[in-house]
Chains A and B, each alone.
Chain A
Amino acid sequence: DVKVTQSSRYLVKRTGEKVFLECVQDMDHENMFWYRQDPGLGLRLIYFSYDVKMKEKGDIPEGYSVSREKKERFSLILESASTNQTSMYLCASSLTSLGLAGAEQYFGPGTRLTVT
């Protein structure tokens, strides 16, 4: 089974802090994704990556950056955390970019981030 892990389940940070959220997948998947989940809004894509050192903006990239130095690891960075970034953050991965193997995503358990 694919396993996607996230570094923390719960995180509390102060406004202005730099925050790192890490995600690791163990199935040699090419693609990795970061979403934020808010009530009534579903999941919104922040950034994704189709290869090492490669990244593309999703629907809501403002205030975030990402890093993918190794294939299995994809980090989300909040350069200066703000209260409106309080949310649930979900990481996901998929095998390739082609067809159903690219469409089907496997999710991590999520990180509940609170910025005070």
Chain B
Amino acid sequence: AQTVTQSQPEMSVQEAETVTLSCTYDTSESNYYLFWYKQPPSRQMILVIRQEAYKQQNATENRFSVNFQKAAKSFSLKISDSQLGDTAMYFCAIFGGSARQLTFGSGTQLTVLP
């Protein structure tokens, strides 16, 4: 079984500052994929960033980057230069090969303050 834990139900950050969202996971798979999804108030869930477990290099997408610590089973999301449009619910998710399905965490509601 796969599990994903997001221990921060809510966070806030001032515009232009940096914020880090935490995620830990557990899986028995040797190869798996990790994702951060964003769900803005309009409710359309979109992919923010992905990380393949066998790649040691941390993924980066513009202002979004991850800190992937495989031994610690940690996968945090860093948002730099936060913008008002980053206000959303953020979900961490894992996909393990044999499970063939995504397992989501409970989400972190991020509010960017002007």
A binding-site residues for B, Cβ under 8 Å: 33, 40-45, 48, 50, 58, 88, 90, 92, 97, 100, 102-110
Across the interface, which residues of B come within 8 angstroms of A50, CB to CB? Answer: 100
The number of inter-chain residue pairs (CB within 8 angstroms) is: 52
Name A's interface SS: mixed
Q: Assign chain B's interface to a size class.
A: 20 to 34
Q: Is the CB of A58 within 8 A of B101?
A: yes
Partner of A107, one of B45, B95, B107: B45
Asked whether B106 is an interface residue with its Cβ less than 8 Å from the other chain, the reply is: yes
Q: Is the CB of B101 within 8 A of A100?
A: no
Closest B residue to A88 by CB, please name it: B43
With A100-B33, A103-B33 known to touch, is A43 a contact of B104 (CB < 8 Å)? yes
Q: Is the CB of A109 within 8 A of B44?
A: yes
